[in-house]
Amino acid sequence: MKVSIDQDLCIGCGICLDACPEVFEMNGEVAIVRIDLVPPEVEVSTRDAADQCPAEAIIIEE
């Protein structure tokens, strides 16, 4: 599973970091992905982050 963030949509709320700090981190005003390939053990929390993102900025590719 791959994940990325649309930097134009992200509003920097930080919800994804709370949901899955293994994958997401802040870079100034927006969130970025720390690792492109999501380890199986954090796939569920990565999906939770995408579901909770108010800007729908998190893109998951299976």
- State the residues that interact with ligand SF4 by CB under 6 A: 5, 10-16, 31, 53-55, 57-58
Q: Which helix (H) or strand (E) holds 17?
A: helix 15-19
- β partners of residue 31: 26
Q: Cβ of residue 28: shortest distance to ligand SF4, in angstroms?
A: 11
Q: Cβ of residue 16: shortest distance to ligand SF4, in angstroms?
A: 3
Q: How far apart are CA 40 and CA 10, in angstroms?
A: 24
C-beta closer to ligand SF4: residue 41 or 50: 50
Opening angle at CA 58, ends 11 and 48, nearest 5: 105
C-beta closer to ligand SF4: residue 39 or 51: 51
